[in-house]
Amino acid sequence: MQITSRFTVAVHMLLCMDVFQDEYKVTSDFLAGSIGVNPVVIRKLLSQLKDAGLAEVRRGPGGAAPAKPLEEITFLDIYRAVDCIGGDSLFHFHENPNPDCPVGKQIHRVLDGRLLQVQDTMEQGLKSITLAMVKQDLMI
pLDDT in the model for residue 92: 72
Q: What is the pLDDT of residues 19-46, one digit of tens each?
A: 999 999 999 999 999 999 999 999 999 9
In sequence order, which residues have a C-beta less than 8 Å from that of residue 28 and are 6 or more positions away? 39, 42, 43, 46, 64
DSSP 13-42: HHHHHHHHTTTS---HHHHHHHHTS-HHHH
d(CA 14, CA 35): 11
Please name each of the domains of the chain with its CATH number.
Answer: 5-137 (1.10.10.10)
pLDDT in the model for residue 59: 80
Q: Record the pTM.
A: 0.85
pLDDT in the model for residue 88: 65
pLDDT in the model for residue 138: 92
Residue type at position 26:
V
List average pLDDT for each run of 10 residues in the chain, which is 140 residues long. Answer: 82 97 93 95 96 91 92 96 72 83 92 90 95 93
